[in-house]
């Protein structure tokens, strides 16, 4: 769905994204629904494979012509909104709604909680939320390694800082 990955020429659109779309259709094609009526747990196809493939063939051309300069979020909002595009491509709209929640289930969240477990130990349990936030940002978004010059600059900064311990 991301317009940044579209080919430069319109002729290259013929096979663009078909393998990924088939994988998505195969994985999310039938969803178990629980109904509150007399029939519970009836399996109904949410995404019809043949229709979805034909919708994708048309929609990738729409993206190429109208939304090539748009962001992924703008394209997804067009599919998920109450526009004519969402009505014209109902199967793709269902896939887009599924794809919007996928980042919640990725390993990034797991890594974040693992980092928090390393930072906020039993001995550091009284850490304020702000300090925890700053430490998490450094741990997650910081550089993998520090250069020698950067490390020396940080050490010099802390060597020059005044002592904060109070004599008891």
CB distance 136 to 114 below 8 Å = no
The answer, yes or no, to whether residue 43 has pLDDT greater than 50, is no
Q: For 104-114, what is each residue's pLDDT tens digit?
A: 666 777 888 88
Instruction: In whole angstroms, give the CA distance from residue 49 to residue 26.
Output: 8
Residues contacting residue 69 through CB under 8 Å, at least 6 positions apart: 3
Task: State if pTM tops 0.75.
Answer: no
Query: 17 or 33, which is more confident?
Result: 17
Instruction: In whole angstroms, give the CA distance from residue 66 to residue 7.
Output: 14
Confidence grade of residue 41 (pLDDT, cut at 50, 70, 90) = very low
Instruction: In whole angstroms, give the CA distance from residue 67 to residue 135.
Output: 39
């Amino acid at each position: 769905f991301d317009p940044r990955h579209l080919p430069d020429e319109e002729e290259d659109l013929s096979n663009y994204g078909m393998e990924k779309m088939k994988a998505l259709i195969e994985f999310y094609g039938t969803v178990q629904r629980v109904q509150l009526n007399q029939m519970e747990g009836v399996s109904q196809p949410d995404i019809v494979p043949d229709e979805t493939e034909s919708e994708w063939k048309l929609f990738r051309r729409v993206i190429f012509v109208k939304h090539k300069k748009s962001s992924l979020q703008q394209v997804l909002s067009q599919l998920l909104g109450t526009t004519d595009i969402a009505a014209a491509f109902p199967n793709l709209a269902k896939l887009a709604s599924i794809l919007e929640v996928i980042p919640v289930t990725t390993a990034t969240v797991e890594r974040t909680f693992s980092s928090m477990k390393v930072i906020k130990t039993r001995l550091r349990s009284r850490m304020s939320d702000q300090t925890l936030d700053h430490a998490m940002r450094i741990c997650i978004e910081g550089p993998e390694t520090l250069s020698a010059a950067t490390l020396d600059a940080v050490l010099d900064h802390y060597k020059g800082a005044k002592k904060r311990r109070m004599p008891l």
